[in-house]
Structure 1
Amino acid sequence: MTATVKRRALAVVATLALAGLALAPSARAQQVVADLSRHLVGITTGFVGTEVLLFGATEGEGDVIVVVRGPDRRETVRRKARVGGIWVNTDEVAFPAAPSFYAVAASGPVGEIVSPRILWRHRIGTENLELRPVRPLDASDLAAFRDGLLRNKVRQGLYHDKPGRVTFLGNRLFRANLYFPANVPTGTYTVEVLLARQGQIVSAQTTPLLISKIGIGAEVYRFAHENSVFYGIFAIVMALAAGWIAGVIFRKG
């Protein structure tokens, strides 16, 4: 089955699921309900990135905002300066709880859906992320290191500085494609779906998504972290053996 056929089949299944959500009693009780096409993304040795389909339904009209956030990680930002004609690190700042992944999707421009105050309250948009350094900084240094962290994450494809698109199918059913790149960190992600009306958030739902290594790659990763000394020795032995074999082959040649 080709990728195009798979996407079309998934779209049909999602549409049927959307209809089921809209008719379910729980959907009528809540103002917004949503789900994912899968709750586990498995990373194998050949993983090149993937999309996860989010679909849902609203009770009445409104705009939908989706916020995807990866597990918090410690991130360090370094400042470089030219010293004696050489670029060296002159300062660094650590942010102990920065999202490892961050993306937003919306059914319209988020600045027109809700006010800046509500965007800040719900941490919608990279400019509203709460990034606290481990040590006090003055305003200019904090802004510089914060901007550096955001630039690094955007360049890596782990922060999306422009919102994706939430598409409505009629007045109530909606869907969005959530993309995760090949270098996406592992862990438990949260997918928060917000329903807005007249500039206010009136309903919300959070769904977990697990991204995990599977297969032989996961076993190697686990062994390397749980037995770092033995893994290091094994890697050195393998490198020496590979060098010796290459030397023998070249001598024979």
Structure 2
Amino acid sequence: MGHRFEKHDELALDATPEQVWDAIATGPGIDSWFMGRNDVQPGEGGTVRTLFGGYAPESPITSWEPGKRLAYGGEQAEDGRFVAYEFLIEGRGGGSTVLRMVTSGFIPGDDWADEFEAMSKGGALFISTLATYLTHFAGRVATPLTVFGPPVGDWERTWSAARAALGLGEHVSEGDPARFTVDGDVVEGVVYSVNSQTIGIRTPDALYRLLQGFHGALVAGHHFFSTVDTTHTENVWQAWLAGLSQEGNDR
């Protein structure tokens, strides 16, 4: 059966077209709001490559108009699966920009619904993160950190434990204050994105994100706009996620 989809999004940004282009069309720019480590081989016929965990998709660039239009992806697998992205940049007065995005593709199989829901929830987080990055950190480059927690038996209990650990209640809205402790340090920020599978929190020097991964596991996908020891920070968050997952399973 499968499911073909096409999603349109539009962002009005207080950022220049050049800043928007750098965010979507360079490896360091994508590192600052998406997932994992990214590399862009520029130009039509080039590639966009993302590496996180054991996943390393490589998408061909089909349109490359610096400051105006970027499109990549669309290659079909044997089962018909594909995903393609298009970004259209329109400069406005006062150094502002309108960014239009189209995400399209096909998910094969009769069990496509859960995968499509996860893709939609994750996509909403990434778009909100892009907007937050360009609003509060435009022109800066982040160090990305992606950490996978262990599988969990009950996602709802684990997600409830995650909200509590972040200093949030059962019902979370954008703009809510968050407060949590990592490695003995208290972190304070504000929720900039939330749905049933993701939470994004902005602080003065970082973007913290939790989302549902494979088998209901918690995934941390953070961006630090300050100097960090990546090995130490990864170990700290690995322990943080493991403890939280265990707490959720034990409730």
> TM-score when scaled to structure 1?
0.23
> TM-score when scaled to structure 2?
0.23
Q: Higher relative contact order at CA 8 Å, sep ≥6: structure 1 or structure 2? A: 1
Q: Rg larger in 1 or in 2?
A: 1
Higher fraction of helix:
1
